[in-house]
A and B are shown apart, each in its own frame.
Chain A
Amino acid sequence: MATLGIDGTGQRLLRRLNPGPGGWQVGLATVATVGVALGLSALLIAVTGGSPTASAKALYQGSMASPAAWSTSLLYVAPLLLVAVGACVSARSGFFNIGQEGQVLIGALAGAWVGLRLAVPGPLLLVLVLLASVVGAGIWAGLSALMYRFRGVNIVVSTMLMTFLAQQLVSFAVNTPWLLQESRLGRGTLSPQSNPVPENARLTSLGDYPNLQLNGGLVLAVVVAVALALVMARTRWGFRLKMVGLNPATARHAGVRVGALGGIALAISGALAGLAGALLLTSPVSTNRLQPGMSLNIGWDGLLVALVARNNPLLAIPVAVLFGVLRAGGSFLAATGVPSFLVDVVKALLVLAFVAPPVVIGMLRRRRLADEPATPTSTPTAPAAPMGAPAPTAPTAGSAEAAGSAPAGSAAPVPGPRTTAPPPADPGDAGTAGNKDAMEGRLA
């Protein structure tokens, strides 16, 4: 990213990666919770009769031990990352899309149709397949935005329910001979799947390394992630998107067409999920056929990646790698006899370990704020301590403010520290007002 400098810009990047106030607390807590999650996982495996060390070894061998294992992991990383980046975009706008699983399928469906029905020579076919999946899934997700716009249908609900519709559609397509069901060869029974897409519609590996395969899809996904991170951080469009997500009323007031922008964000997120679907179809992760179960829960897992990455597309890259590793290692682990549902449990524990700390710490901070009595004058003058030494009741908004205004206090006409809330009001309001606004904007 362009801010990757040494001092000033580097610090800014760090700050952006910082989850917010009390970042180090969150970091410490995350380390602790991940430790707990790993411990619990080991315990679970031991209790169900497995060996935790052998399992860890298997997990490692299946995902990272060799270039071949890495190749498998990275094949999963690309679609996961695409879904996650899309989820970041929609979450940033406050129009939460949780229907990626269905959008992945629709993308694969559109891609398969183009790949199998259009006889275009050369790599142009691949381009068309990818484009079709982007457009198809983008429109599919856009439908939810339209439903919201014209009928007020809750976006979270509609995107999720559309997933089931998408599953039925794909199932119908691969069970209907005149649509996409495989052609009859000899007398074999027909399976509910399509023919494999032609060779020139497949994503191949880049470069020629023994054992290691770097699929083109991964490059595509990383490029998309970096590009969107830049767009969101550096452009007017990204600025407006952030504004809409954080405070739709102010955004509207500042001249942003909230509904349109949110709809576009939703469509982008759908389009990226669709692209992930196309990757599943065209890369060696699958049989290159359209199959009802081919989405492999990538849509749901991608959402988790975004959740763990706290809606930051750049952070999503390492998190997606982690999830890809867990996926590849998980299937290897399942092959060694550990029940595959345990792998899912381990994954879920890890997600919780990453997601819980910021939420819990945020809640604790708010509670502490609310517990403090409404005494705006209990600290009659600005604390004598300079900025670096906060008051003992450390991370409350009130004292943060006091610390902020103290050095300049003598110059400013403000006589003493004030809370943002009017005196008799519950001081917790100040902290939660923004969140409430955001929630209302999203759910209204």
Chain B
Amino acid sequence: MDVDDKLTPALTLRGVSKRYGPVVACDAVDLAVRPGEIHGLLGENGAGKSTLMKILLGLVHRDAGTITRGTEPVEIDSPQVAVELGLGMVHQHFSLIEPLTVWENVILGDTGRIDRAAACAQVEEVSRRYGLPIDPHVRVDRLSAGERQRVELIKCLRRDPSVLILDEPTSVLTQAESAELFTVLRRVVQAERRAVILISHKLAEIMAATDRVTVLRRGAVAFHGATKDTTAQELARQMVGREVSLQAESAALGLLPVERPAPVAGADGTEVAPSAAGPTQEKPAVLRLREVTLLVGGLPMLDRLSLDVAPGEIVGLYGVEGNGQATVGELLSGLLVPDSGTVEIDGRPVDLVRPGALHHAGLGIVPEDRHHSGVVLDMSVAENLVMKSLAGVTTRGVLSRRRMHRIAQRQMTEFNIVAPSPDTPLRSLSGGNQQRVVLARELSAGPKALVAAQPTHGLDVGAIEDMYVRLRQAAAEGVAVLLISTELEEVMALANRIAVISSGRIVGVLPTAEATAERLGMLVGGVSH
């Protein structure tokens, strides 16, 4: 690749910054992509990858910095300009219209007369050229995820892009489909001297498929270099590699087993086997997932996942988005039913088909998307607080508003819910206060186990602190807490044990004291297997 270094980059970004209020999404990012190379872009969720790509596609306007296409500076202020400049992107979530056929999807957005024969011919031509076999007449809803991806690629490639951006392209693909995809990309790069930006969090993929790699961390470039000169370990460290400062604080609160024998570090740092999944305490697990498998569209979202949470401990379920934590959250909200395996609470399996079974069994949950399954925005604060324990406010089926108010008032004081009155519609509360309502409701039911899925997403600092205190308090009172999070710091700050999920399985469970950025990074990247 040394030759490539001397080439004029196809696309150069210099000091590109973007802020959203106090949040720095991109902090003076430099990135140069040369023709004929696959450039890996690695980073955690929220590291700024998506914002950067949105800037390139003209969806978001940068605050500072320059973008150079070839040798001339360009201004990408709309998606049309991006297309004219030869920037094409395949998004992680497909933008195909399912009831339409392949060729119809491909020409979608074109102007002028529709020429079916020409469109089909073009699809076939592109698919032959790149080895992406597809029948242009088939309806998209009949296609597998891998085939849909081919359609997306064809959509992109027919416009002859000089820079092709792929966002997490393998997240929905099987192993074989991924391998196929990378063969195609190699062909695109070598035969036609196009440039490819590959966004991924899978270390193995980055190592195998890219020529150069840039690691983003908190919006800034943390690492940049040729792939062959680096290692997966190095990249893992760079990706999640802040010093875990919050660990000391957590230990000080007595939540961490401080003195632990140092682990016998294996050469690759991945000696932590899933067999360590048993609870650290002597007490039997309150919440236990056993060999849970859940298929979505034929792909396993959860693959024989087993996890135990003992009373009084906080287990952090950590992993990158799209690897199944969201599914675990939905499963434990009672919104999904597993294809096999059981969920046990206090030793008894729960019948997940029955609505509310988990709640009755003693599981509280702070769902990931509270607007979807946590609250009813158009009901009042009081109604939201009592909706799961209506028995307490009804006599022979009739609601007592007075009792409802009393309970609501008490919980609002106890949980610092700031609202003008219990009758205020929940919609008009801030995100932090809405989340407090959810937490108040769940904790007031006296749960044996509590699941908190991304509990601090979109909250401000005060509300986050509050949430942390409540979760610790719940654990201290003997509740088994499962914290599902994609934020490493959050997991490190709160959890006693960290279970790492990758591709729907637990790839390792380790005590927080033994968790180093590198080891977590390796596990998250799925390198342990």
Contacts and interface: CB of A to CB of B under 8 A. Distances in A.
Our verdict on whether A and B bind, yes or no, reads yes
Contacts of A408: 418
A423 B458 CA distance: 7
Contact of B463 (A15, A377, A414): A414
Interface residues of A, number: 55
A384 B21 CA distance: 21
Interface stretch (A38-46, A199-207, A241-249): A241-249
B360 interface: yes
Nearest to B356: A255
A305 B467 CA distance: 47
Contacts of B423: 12, 15
Interface string B396-414: 0111000000000000000
B394 interface: yes
Interface residues on B, range: 35 or more
A413 interface: yes
A236 B458 contact: no
A433 B394 contact: no
A404 B419 contact: yes
Contacts of B427: 397, 420, 434
B400 to A, nearest CB: 9
B376 A250 contact: yes
A400 B383 CA distance: 20
B379 interface: yes
Contacts of A387: 420
A433 B370 CA distance: 11
A315 interface: no
Contacts of B420: 387, 404
Contact of A433 (B377, B428, B462): B377
Contacts of A257: 355
B430 A239 contact: no
A239 B390 contact: yes
Contacts of A433: 371-372, 377
B387 A413 contact: no
Contacts of B298: none
A437 B371 contact: yes
A235 interface: yes
A347 to B, nearest CB: 30
A374 interface: yes
Contacts, number: 159
B84 interface: no
Interface in B246-291: none
The residue among A238, A250, A412, A422 with the most chain B CB atoms within 10 A of its own CB is A250
Interface in A188-220: none
B430 A414 contact: yes
Contacts of B365: 253
B428 A418 contact: no
Contacts of B457: 422
Contact of B418 (A238, A377, A412): A412
A415 B397 contact: no
A404 B356 contact: no
B359 A255 contact: yes
Contacts of A424: 20, 23, 25, 51
B416 interface: yes
B54 to A, nearest CB: 10
B162 to A, nearest CB: 28
B9 interface: no
A404 B429 contact: yes
A237 B424 CA distance: 22
B428 A415 contact: no
Given A254-B356, A434-B371, A423 B20 contact: yes
Nearest to A240: B390
A99 B428 CA distance: 36
Contact of A434 (B22, B378, B390, B418): B378
Given A253-B334, A404-B428, A420-B430, A374 B20 contact: yes
B377 A247 contact: yes
A400 B429 CA distance: 9
Contact of A401 (B359, B388, B428, B460): B428
Contact of B356 (A238, A256, A413): A256
A387 B424 CA distance: 14
B367 interface: yes
Contacts of A237: 397
Interface string B34-68: 00000000000000000100000000000000000
- Which 10 residue pairs are nearest across A and B when measured between Cβ atoms? A255-B356, A422-B458, A413-B462, A377-B21, A434-B377, A249-B373, A424-B20, A247-B376, A420-B431, A423-B20
Given A239-B387, A253-B355, A255-B388, 10 more contacts: A236-B397, A250-B387, A252-B373, A253-B335, A253-B367, A401-B428, A405-B430, A413-B416, A414-B462, A420-B427
28 contacts: A235-B397, A235-B399, A236-B394, A236-B399, A243-B379, A246-B376, A247-B372, A247-B375, A247-B377, A252-B355, A253-B365, A254-B359, A256-B355, A256-B356, A374-B20, A378-B21, A412-B418, A414-B460, A415-B460, A416-B460, A418-B430, A418-B432, A418-B460, A420-B427, A420-B429, A420-B434, A423-B22, A437-B371
